[in-house]
């Protein structure tokens, strides 16, 4: 593992990123004390694609789902 001063890391960031992408781990230090580690990014497994309409047989939306609320229900929401 390579240790690099933070000033040198700022100066040579592209080179350090290339080294990390190639599998090397780089330790970044400030005043000799480690503060960060630059490591290669692990491949993230692809999320399964969502299937649209999967619940269409299980969920029923009433025709009046967007009808105005009754006055007493609306008043209960506006109290708080």
pLDDT tens digits along 32-53: 999 999 999 887 678 888 888 8
Question: What is the chain's mean pLDDT, rounded?
Answer: 90
For 70, other C-beta atoms within 10 Å of its C-beta total 9
pTM of the model: 0.52
Whether 42 contacts 21, CB under 8 Å: no
d(CA 65, CA 68): 9
The two three-digit tokens of residue 30, written as one number:
């400030």
d(CA 26, CA 16): 7
Give the start-to-end residue ranges of the domains of the chain. Answer: 2-38
Architecture of domain 2-38 in CATH?
3-Layer(aba) Sandwich (3.40)
Whether 23 contacts 41, CB under 8 Å: no
Which tens digits make up the pLDDT trace of 65-77? Answer: 999 999 999 999 8
């Amino acid at each position: 593992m390579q240790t690099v001063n933070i000033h040198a890391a700022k100066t040579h960031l592209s080179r350090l990123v290339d080294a990390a992408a190639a599998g090397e781990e780089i330790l970044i230090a400030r005043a000799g004390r480690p503060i960060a580690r630059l490591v290669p990014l692990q491949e993230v497994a692809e999320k399964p694609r969502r299937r649209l309409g999967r619940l269409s047989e299980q969920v029923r939306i009433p025709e009046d789902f967007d009808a105005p609320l009754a006055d007493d229900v609306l008043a209960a929401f506006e109290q708080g």
